Amino acid sequence: MSRPTIIGLTGNIATGKSAVMRLAAERGALTIDADRVVHELLDGDPAIQAAVAEAFGPEVRRADGRIDRAVLGGLVFGDAERLRQLEALLHPAVRAEIGRRVAAAGDRVVMIEAIKLLEGPLAAACDAIWVTACAPATQMARLRVCRGMDEAAALARVAAQAPQEEKIARANVVIRTDGLLRETEAQFDAAWRQI
């Protein structure tokens, strides 16, 4: 059986990863969003739900058993130790689910989007690392306008992530997303042709 080409996509919050994932999907790649996998586990895996509620308290659970991500986010963002605790609970299950999806991909290109791709073992499974990047002012504007965050919330989310420069230093491809979408697409296509 053929092995897929695996591209790991990372970049800090609001740097254009979703746009790059859409471009990859349009070109036939299997796209896997690690955040979406987390949401699926928090919404549908009773063992994960129980472990998170045990670690963070019953207030993180909704009446239907699912995890209230807003409540959980309020507890962990801005508290590095609690964020590490949550990641230790979730990341093994996320990696296992991503592994199942990659195994079923055949010889397709697979793009895995994960903000913390480089901080864990998932990067070693990737054939290339692509990073999205933009100016801090662009990032903050996107968080405030597109996601409705106030400045304090946006700053807390950015502070919870590794510096963008560290990700850029480890990238095989850097896609700058400060400009128009067609400029991002041109950079994407140039990199895609090299696969």
Q: What is the distance of C-alpha 121 from the center of its chain? A: 14
Cα–Cα distance between 38 and 43 in angstroms, integer?
Answer: 9
| Residue 18 annotated as binding site | yes
| Residue 160 labelled as part of a binding site | no
17 is in an annotated binding site: yes
14 is in an annotated binding site: yes
At residue 174, the 3 state secondary structure works out as strand
How many beta carbons lie within 10 A of that of residue 88, not counting itself?
A: 10
With contact defined as beta carbons under 8 Å apart, do 8 and 112 qualify?
A: yes
Binding site: what residues are annotated?
Answer: 14-19
Binding site for ATP: what residues are annotated?
Answer: 14-19
